[in-house]
Amino acid sequence: MGCRQCEGAESFFSGFWVKRELRSYQRSGPRKTTRWLIDAIKARGVEGATLLDIGGGVGAIQHELLESGAGRATGADAASAYLELVEQEAERRGHRDRMTQRHGDFVELADDLAPADIVTLDRVICCYHDFESLVDRSTAKARRLYGLVYPRYTWLTRAGNRFLNVFLWLIRNPFRVFTHPTHAVDAMIRDSGFQRIYHANTLTWQVVLYER
Ligand SMILES: C[S@@+](CC[C@H](N)C(=O)[O-])C[C@H]1O[C@@H](n2cnc3c(N)ncnc32)[C@H](O)[C@@H]1O
């Protein structure tokens, strides 16, 4: 990977923590905001649909949508530890043959990836420095639905992410987190031909679904 941020993701999302995340997903299902996004997508119909899940982590969206009737899923993640866990979990659940995993920076991989009916980025925009390229290349892949979970643009999230970045700097990890302005992200997606059909907030996160 040519991207320093993605190299940081490879070392940040690894080892004990990612395994713990999978155990938590197996025990309790998707976290609240992921569940909201999945439910909003399912409400628009997923039967036979293809999914491209960018930065999918343990693959909650892929597993849940495949089990709800989606046809095929592709995951693209900069962290190889997650991809192994997605495949293990898919094997256990019996849908390994309906998914493909790609390792790397989605922005670099995009030319090689087929468009999908549904594209999701759950807590991914905040892990990438160049949101314009990420949004531009990912909206171009979405035929019908485009779903995101990303931080609200408030003093609280900006301060929290600054604090986390100081910690990352102290432990000499090149990975950084970003609070990209909501109005800029939203404007780019709308300019790509989408309208917003679902929006929900927690104190720090927003869950948004767009339709083309
Ligand atoms: C905070 S984790 C979120 C994982 C999962 N979606 C969730 O919500 O639990 C961010 C994920 O995005 C991935 N990621 C960030 N930027 C990426 C990029 N440009 N291409 C591919 N994956 C990326 C990271 O490797 C990591 O797996």
CATH class of 4-211: alpha beta
At 147 the three-state DSSP class reads strand
Predicted pLDDT at 1: 63
Higher pLDDT, 24 or 3: 24
Average pLDDT of 58-71?
A: 98
Q: Name every residue whose Cβ is closer than 8 Å to that of residue 75 and which is 6 or more positions away in sequence.
A: 53, 54, 56, 59, 62, 83, 86, 99, 100, 101, 102
Any ligand 1 atom below 6 A from CB of 6: yes
Atom 14 of ligand 1, nearest CA residue: 55
Per domain, the residue ranges of the chain are 4-211
pTM score: 0.96
CA of 190 to the centre of ligand 1 (A): 23
- For the cut 80, the answer to whether the pLDDT of residue 2 exceeds it is no
Any ligand 1 atom below 6 A from CB of 86: no
